[in-house]
Structure 1
Amino acid sequence: MIGNQSGPRIFGLDLMRAMAISMVVFGHCVWIFPVTNGFFHQLLVLSGFFGVEIFFVLSGFLIGKIFYELYLKEDFSMQTVFYFLKRRWFRTLPNYYLVLLINIGVATIVGYPLFFLWKYFFFLQNLNTTMLSFFPESWSLSVEEFAYVVLPIFLMIVTYCIKPKNKSRFFALAVLTLILIFFCNKIYYQNTTANTTLTQWNMSLKAVVLYRLDSIFIGVLCSWIYLNFTSFWQKNKYIFFVLGTLIFLFQFVAIGYFGLLIESHPVLWNVFYLPMISVAVACFLPFLSEWKEEKSVLRKPVVFISLISYSVYLLHYSVVLQLLKHYIQYDSQNPFELYGFVAAYVGITFLLSYLLYRFYEKPMMNLRDKS
């Protein structure tokens, strides 16, 4: 949901972001429709989950390209790191803190108990523990913010200690090391936690920062491959696209077909499932990063949704959906009322998100660029 393109907009990456935020919004419709065990309910759940995973890899890919170019400069130093972080924080923090304050106001209005609020101001709400119930969608923002800090600080420290001769290769090695570190955290989780339920997996593993940073860094590694092996990236984009499709088919079809469930195969779920999702998303990047559509009728709506996606992510659930459900009663068995509520949810979300982007987020971005 965060991460911006430098240079001309690439339609494929805008499409990727627009699809991701649409899937997240669609996924939270699970709290509108009646609870069932049917295919549609499962599709809603998977849609929201998959949308966030796309954001992780895409954000890593976009910020990886930006930071890699900064890292290669001869004067790379703490000042460079602060420059990178300042630009990221100008991009992410103003919107986040504004919507956080709005969420506090909403929670106060509806009588929701507030506790440990200070953690949200430092993105500590899910650093190493189960996500708190207040402003729950912010869990993914914590993952991204810590990734933005860990990557440059780690590279600065190891570069100072080792003084590499080939900074490009060293960058890739450092990113691989970070991926391995946070992958090993999942092995530690498997060995120290008796987790055999998807509910616990969803709260204690999937939404915890220390187990998820490798998803961002997989995207960063893709940016290094893109910049250093451009010909390989372009020539094999269809092969990677097919590979990504096959991995998804395995995870969303074969796992259920062969009964590879968390109750009987916890290692698969606790250690390998999430990295496999990230690798699958990464396999679509060569194709989508080369898709430069200039005249398609879809271009304007896709770019529009992509531009407001961060605002949509922040507003759609805890602010819009929860207030609608609190103040508006509807009959979930009445199709007219049910789909009317869904239309109101989607329409209000995108309207408020546009206003937030137009009159707050974009001015903040302009201020960043001027300074």
Structure 2
Amino acid sequence: MQIDYSKRIFGLDLMRAVAILFVVFSHALWIVPELPGLPGELLRLMGVLGVEIFFVLSGFLIGRILLRQFSEGYNKQGVTYFWVRRWFRTLPNYYLILFVNIGIVLFMGRNLPDGLWKYFLFFQNAFSSMDIFFTESWSLPIEEFTYLLAPILAWALWKFFKLKAQKAFLYTAIGMIVFGLLTKVFYQTQVAESDMIFWNTELKAVMIYRLDAIFYGMLGAYAAQYFADFWTRNRWILFLLGVLGMLLISFGIPMLGWFIDSHPWVWNLGYLPFCSLVIALFLPMLSAWKTAPRIIRGAVTRISLISYSMYLLHYSVVLQLLKYFLPTERLSLIDKGMYVLVYLSLTFVASYVLYRIYERPMMNLRDHRLVKRYFQAP
């Protein structure tokens, strides 16, 4: 795998690599559900934080693209080209693995979900929890509809309110964050139950309540460009605040006894926005971390590159097939440890193959002359 490190930022690759490793390791709990105490709790936390890191990082990267591409103003051809590039990046892998999941379900003799059509339009978790089919896909509608909404809303503010392009971007991000908070207020007052399983499926993984998640990263992109001195000068202070915030999320909330049954407002209103803010505090330092020793840089960058394939493959494909052919119920704890190693190894190998033979070639089409000819802004 040839990598042009001059075009990459190690700190952001590290952020993506940590995110996918958190998610992949957390699903080892399907193999060892009886894992007791702190290790089990940390794996559950890693599963939550991994996806939240992806959201903030995605917002930061997409925000920088939007600010650069529309620095002077928004135009139809530029917006279309932005969408085309994003869709070449996300849709081919998604639809391929969606069909693979359909094949797996039919092979196992199970019933496909009644709302299968929703998966093709990214509506599977638009307003309520989704079926257990292709469960890790819950985050992708949030990503796709953010990519769709962000330039449309910014264009509307720029066009009809005559705002400068960067201000339209800023107000879009702030407005969507406020919208996200208001939906959580609605959830707290109308829907909430004091149960973590319900919270995990009906709030954390429902698109209408989570559209704000990526816009925290977009605010970071705006701060990095228009408050660059503050962003650079205070990056270590912000990093330390991020560490303190992460300690509060990981250990402080349990120590304070702020559990959902006694403090539902903490989880329903504050937990997810606070996670996003804390993760965003790491961006100034990580975005300035350009490189690292060769052996570390190579490993981190490669994991970062195959992270999307890993996300789509690791659970519903690799782990589900493993569990089908090699059930774990009667295995000893030592055997389950070996099982986890097999699961991780297969995930890395399958993801690398998918990236090389399919994901990367599909992404390369973004730069094909015909795509640029018909979609790129002049």
TM over 0.5: yes
For residues 150-177 of structure 1, give each alpha carbon's deviation from its aligned partner in whole angstroms, at most 9, with x where no partner exists: 111111122221111x332332122111
For residues 69-104 of structure 1, give each alpha carbon's deviation from its aligned partner in whole angstroms, at most 9, with x where no partner exists: 122234x22222111111100100000000000000
Q: Secondary structure at the match of 2:289?
A: coil
1:99-178 aligned at under 5 Å gives the runs 99-115=97-113, 116-164=115-163, 166-178=164-176
With structure 1 as the length reference, what TM-score do the two structures score?
A: 0.95
The runs of 4+ residues in structure 1 deviating greater than 3 Å are 329-333
Pair 107,303 (structure 1): closer, same or farther in 2 beyond 3 Å: same
In 2, Cα distance between the equivalents of 1:249 and 1:131?
A: 31
Partner of 1:352: 350
Partner of 2:37: 38
Q: CA contact under 8 A between 2:239 and 2:285: conserved in structure 1?
A: yes
Offset at residue 36 of structure 1 (A): 4.5
Letter of the 1:338 counterpart: K
Q: CA contact under 8 A between 1:30 and 1:44: conserved in structure 2?
A: yes
- 1:71 lines up with 2:70 in the alignment: yes
In 2, Cα distance between the equivalents of 1:13 and 1:62?
A: 9
Letter of the 1:178 counterpart: M
In 2, Cα distance between the equivalents of 1:140 and 1:292?
A: 28
Unaligned stretches of 5+ residues in structure 1: none
Partner of 1:220: 218
Offset at residue 334 of structure 1 (A): 2.5
In 2, Cα distance between the equivalents of 1:329 and 1:265?
A: 38
In 2, Cα distance between the equivalents of 1:140 and 1:92?
A: 12
In 1, Cα distance between the equivalents of 2:280 and 2:33?
A: 34
Q: Secondary structure at the match of 2:290?
A: coil
Q: CA contact under 8 A between 2:57 and 2:217: conserved in structure 1?
A: yes
The alignment's C-alpha RMSD in Å is 1.6
- 1:320 lines up with 2:318 in the alignment: yes
Letter of the 1:26 counterpart: F
Number of residue pairs the alignment of both structures matches: 365
For residues 337-363 of structure 1, give each alpha carbon's deviation from its aligned partner in whole angstroms, at most 9, with x where no partner exists: 212211111111111111110010110
Q: Secondary structure at the match of 1:90?
A: helix
Partner of 2:195: 197
In 2, Cα distance between the equivalents of 1:335 and 1:205?
A: 33
For residues 158-205 of structure 1, give each alpha carbon's deviation from its aligned partner in whole angstroms, at most 9, with x where no partner exists: 2221111x3323321221111111111111111111321111110100
Pair 332,240 (structure 1): closer, same or farther in 2 beyond 3 Å: farther
1:144-293 aligned at under 5 Å gives the runs 144-164=143-163, 166-293=164-291
Unaligned stretches of 5+ residues in structure 2: 372-378
Partner of 2:376: none
- 1:62 lines up with 2:61 in the alignment: yes
Q: CA contact under 8 A between 2:155 and 2:168: conserved in structure 1?
A: no
Q: CA contact under 8 A between 1:331 and 1:337: conserved in structure 2?
A: no
Partner of 1:329: 327
Q: CA contact under 8 A between 2:235 and 2:285: conserved in structure 1?
A: yes
Q: CA contact under 8 A between 2:154 and 2:165: conserved in structure 1?
A: no
With structure 2 as the length reference, what TM-score do the two structures score?
A: 0.93
Partner of 2:24: 25
Offset at residue 220 of structure 1 (A): 0.6
Q: CA contact under 8 A between 1:34 and 1:332: conserved in structure 2?
A: no
Letter of the 1:67 counterpart: L
